[in-house]
Structure formats: structure tokens, C-alpha cells
Amino acid sequence: MPKFNCPCCNQKEIKKSFTSWEGIPYSICKNCKTSYQDPPLTIDYKEDSWGQKVDPDNKLRDLTKEKEFKIKNWYGDTIKYVNSKNPGKILDVGCGLGFFLFSINEAWERHALEVSEEAINFIKENDKKIIINKGTIEINTLEENLFDVIFFYHVFEHLENPIESLDKISKLLKPNGTLILGTPNNSSLCAKIFGGNYRLLCKAHKFLVTSSYMKKILIQRNFSIKKVEYPYFKTDYFNLKNILKLFFIWKVSPPFFGNIMTFYMVKK
């Protein structure tokens, strides 16, 4: 029996339960098809290391040296999209090491919201013009109706109360302001065929939502979705090796098209 309600729709009835490749128990919500940790793990992001990490392919990586890699392979068209707009005030929620903000034209008033001292110190050392706000989307001192653009990229799936956090983000955004939200896609091809071996079912991800239910959540919160992007074909992940890995469903799934989705939207 599930121990917790679904964090996206608050329903308790489940379709099934399973264990991920990291040995984490998940339940699939019968109502919205969200896969969620049951019970959810607790991670203290204040102490999270932004240095060396082991990825799902058992490769040791130094995250502080991945700026160019991330820009090419992670953010899709988001940087180009923001830099094409008239400059205003932009907020990156849970900005990590700040690679996205480093790439935004300095004509923008760039704000970072981050809880990790390690990440904050890295940003201060590399770009002193970024305005740093220490805190989380749940607890912060930011003014309402302040930002023209909010970048909420791969933070949503880490939160205990994601719907409440979206409402708080909406309050920070000006009317007709732009929200860019990225999150894993629980209805991707890899999620369907790999099951518990889907690479994005990891300790840090409390839940993974489907593309259709993510759209429903956003529309209910009065956002007008302009486009949905699935960054992949312009990245280094698009290669024969990863395509061939699609046939090894007993292993951890490869990076592939549809694994992550980015919503570009306007607050009505």
C-alpha cells in the first residue's frame, strides 16, 4: 500500500509500485501517472556537493568544469530565447552553479535564487554582476510581480510541494511575464520501455510527471503554453552508441529524445 499521496494531484490510489535501478521504492499514481518516491527521500541541498559526482553511467564528473558541455547539451534553445527578448529582470530559481545566468546578456538584471553555499561562492567568484538571493522558492524575500522572466529548470521534480511552489513562482512573475520550466518526462519512450531502469528515476528526483499532466498543471495555473521543447538532436547525446543502448532494457536507460521537456509559457 502507498504511504504517501501523489505530490502532483494529491491522490492516494496507485496503479502499481516498483523499485528503481538505485533501489528506491516508487509508486505510480493511478490518476495522473506520476511516478513518485514512496516514501520520499530527504536530501539536504545546503550541503549538496557541486564538485565531483558519479552519473548513472558510473562516470566521475567534475560539475564545476562543465559549463560549455551544459550550454550545448542541457539548456536547449533557452539561452538564445532569453537573449532575443528585450532585457528586463530575470530570476533563475535553484540556479546551481549559475551556468545559465553566465550565458545571459548582461543587459539583463540577473538574479539567482540558491540555497547551497558552495554554489553561491562559485557564482560570486565567476560573475560578480549576478544578484544572489540565498533561499528556496518556498522560503525567500523576493518581491511579488518583480520579474519579466523566471527560469525554473530541473528543480520542480526535487520539491516536496511542487504545486505550491508553482503558485509562488507565479506571484513573483509580472503579468505577461515568461516562465521557462524544464523537468524530466515520465511519458518518454525510455520511461515506458525501461520502467524502473529509467535513468531519471534517481535519489534526487522525488517524482517524475508526464507531459500531458504537466500541461494540465500549468494551464490550471493560468499559464499560456507557447511551445514545448525536447532538447536532444542538437546535443552530444544524439549518437549511435546511445541509440543502440535502447535495446538493452535490463540496463540503465540512455540519454534519449523526450527524456527532458522544456515548457515556454506566459502568465496570463
The sign of the CA dihedral 69, 37, 10, 258 is positive
Please report whether residue 137 resides in a domain: yes
User: Does residue 8 lie within any of the structural domains?
Assistant: no
How buried is residue 150: exposed, middle or buried, by Cβ count under 10 Å (0-12/13-18/19+)? buried
Task: Classify residue 2: in a domain, yes or no.
Answer: no
Name the 3-class secondary structure at 158: helix
Q: Is 263 helix (H, G, I), strand (E, B) or coil?
A: strand
CATH code for position 132: 3.40.50.150
Residue 48 has pLDDT above 80, yes or no: no
Q: Report the distance separating Cα 257 and Cα 180, nearest Å.
A: 19
pLDDT > 90 in the chain, percent: 89
Query: By C-alpha distance, which of 149, 104, 155 is closest to 129?
Result: 104
pLDDT of residue 130: 98
Which residue range is the domain that position 198 belongs to?
14-267
Instruction: Give Cβ neighbours of residue 13 (< 8 Å, ≥ 6 apart).
Output: 29, 30, 31
Lowest mean pLDDT among 42-56, 107-121, 237-251: 42-56
| 88 residue type, one letter | G
Q: What is the pLDDT of residue 47?
A: 62
Number of domains in the chain: 1
pLDDT digits (tens, 9 = 90+) for 64-89: 898 999 999 999 999 999 999 999 99
Whether residue 224 has pLDDT greater than 90: yes
User: What does the pLDDT look like over 114-149, one tens digit per residue?
Assistant: 999 999 999 999 999 999 999 999 999 999 999 999
How much is the average pLDDT of 93-98? 96
CA 205 – CA 123 distance, rounded (Å): 24
Q: What is the pTM of this model?
A: 0.94
Q: Which residues have a Cβ under 8 Å from the Cβ of 23 and sit 6 or more positions away?
A: none
Q: What is the mean pLDDT of residues 245-267?
A: 97
On whether residue 1 sits in a domain, the answer given is no
Residue 3 covered by a domain: no
Question: 7 in a domain, yes or no?
Answer: no
Q: Is 23 part of any domain?
A: yes
CA neighbor of 81 nearest in space, from 101, 107, 104: 104
CA 10 to CA 234: how far, in whole Å? 37
Is 193 within the bounds of a domain?
A: yes
